[in-house]
Amino acid sequence: MSQPPPSPRLAPEAERAITNKVSRRIIPCILVGSLVAYVDRVNIGYAQLGMGAELGITAASYGLAAAIFFVAYFIFEVPSNILLARFGSRRWFARIMVSWGIVTVLTGFVHSTEWLYVARFALGLAEAGFFPGAVLYITKWYRAQDRARPLSYLVIAQPAAYLIGGATAGTILDHVHWLGQSPWRWIFFLSGIPAVAVGLVILKFLPERPADATWLDDTSRAWLVDAVGGEGVSEARRHGVRAQLAAFRNRRTFVLCAIEFVFSVGFYGFTLFVPLIIKQINPTYSATHIGFEAAIPYLCGMIGLMTLPRLGSTPGRLRYLGTGLSLFGTIGILGVILLREQPTPALISLSLAALVSFPFISVLWAIITHSLPKKHATVAFAAINSVGALAGFVGPYLVGQGSSGSTVTSGLLTPAIAMLLCTIFTAAFRIKNPEALAESTSQPSRTVST
């Protein structure tokens, strides 16, 4: 294909029109991929309602199975991104989705706790790199000041997937008994197949880079290539590898890693156990009832995500907002522990925890982008994101170990303590970096890997 002509100067209205056209083309693929990823990741929580009894899986064993996914994700995240750069986003996204869909389907055939561990580890290997790869892909298509909105779709996909997964998985458990297979196995079969289908669609339709955007006219394509490519060239020239690795000499990198770690221990420590929590607070619920009731906290999380981060309109407010959100998250989790014998108050407490925890993700990444200079961003962001993935193992594992048999609420003390530590660390953190503050208008809020 011929090279686009030199970039013209366009009116702001024309630039916005091009950006909106790009969004209509690539965001549906990214959004659907993210939804499928999170549904595949959390379906084990609903499957446990059936496979726990059939395979003899205790809360402790379930906690390890849920957590071991993040070990593989942590190990393979950086290599996956390196391979993405080698093979291209379109082909690598397709590989990720097809492979994790196949692994999810195969998980439906496990017949022992040990094989469940193997399947979950394999799922982590298959899925690793999708989220940071999607963020990198977005940076190829959007200028810095235009990235906040497309990145927000990656965030909103998480509670949306929990909501959709809960409603469908509960129904499957109660009503799907096909081909002599247990209903919990069909949760894996029916959630894995869409991942394969979406992967094939991405391979066919997702454009690799702006220069390949034949659906843009020559003028629009030339402007986009210049606008997005110019930023990457400028940053590459300004900051070399040594400057980026200096992030590990920046004390703020380690403090922010600590905040990310304790938050993720708390966040994954309760979100991956929501179906079991609801089953415990009201043992009479059917699987369908559990699925629909579990959607309530996730719906609250979506509402919180769309509204509460707006309160952090300045760097100073971000710290206070983050402190308040994590404090109320602590209160919500403690409420579930203390009110576990009262279904309605316990559900309200669980919904409060979700309402404030999901928006804390975007608030924390806003704090991070305000607190670190651009020359440290690549390495620091990857380090913080990887620490969050590692905490995704620690949280569910400790909750499972702290539980008694199938009684999970006793193990929730771990995420409650983690959220309290997150509150203290966030309150003590100061946003003082002049360079980061000066550049904040061009840095989008990022989200943690999940």
Asked whether residue 331 is domain-assigned, the answer is: yes
pLDDT at 329 over 70: yes
Asked whether residue 111 is domain-assigned, the answer is: yes
Least confident of 174-183, 194-203, 224-233, 329-338: 224-233
Asked whether residue 216 is domain-assigned, the answer is: no
Please list, in sequence order, all residues whose beta carbon lies within 8 angstroms of the beta carbon of residue 108, skipping any fewer than 6 positions away. 181, 185, 186, 187, 188, 189, 192
Give me the CATH number covering residue 362: 1.20.1250.20
Predicted local distance difference test score (pLDDT) of residue 6: 53
Model pTM score: 0.75
Predicted local distance difference test score (pLDDT) of residue 239: 52
Predicted local distance difference test score (pLDDT) of residue 230: 54
3-state secondary structure of 109: coil
Predicted local distance difference test score (pLDDT) of residue 264: 95
Total domains present in the chain: 1
Asked whether residue 4 is domain-assigned, the answer is: no
Largest CA distance in the chain: 69
What is the share, in percent, of the chain residues with pLDDT greater than 90?
Answer: 40
Asked whether residue 271 is domain-assigned, the answer is: yes
Predicted local distance difference test score (pLDDT) of residue 431: 73
For residue 421, the Cα-to-chain-centroid distance in whole angstroms is: 21
Q: Which own/partner pairs from 338-347 qualify as long-range (CB within 8 Å, at least 24 positions apart)?
A: 340/280, 340/281, 340/409, 341/281, 342/281, 343/281, 343/282, 346/277, 346/281, 347/278, 347/281, 347/293, 347/296, 347/297
Measured CA to CA, the distance from residue 41 to residue 128 in angstroms comes to 11
Owning domain of residue 92: 25-206+239-442
Q: What is the pLDDT of residues 188-198, one digit of tens each?
A: 999 999 999 99
Asked whether residue 233 is domain-assigned, the answer is: no
**Mean pLDDT of the 163-182 span:** 89
Asked whether residue 18 is domain-assigned, the answer is: no
Q: What is the pLDDT of residues 11-68, one digit of tens each?
A: 888 999 999 999 999 989 888 988 988 887 778 888 988 998 899 888 889 889 988 9
**Mean pLDDT of the 266-292 span:** 88
Asked whether residue 227 is domain-assigned, the answer is: no
Least confident of 179-183, 263-267, 269-273: 269-273
- Residue pair 10/96 in contact by the 8 Å Cβ criterion: no
pLDDT at 236 over 60: no
278: nearest Cα among 440, 177, 412, 164: 412
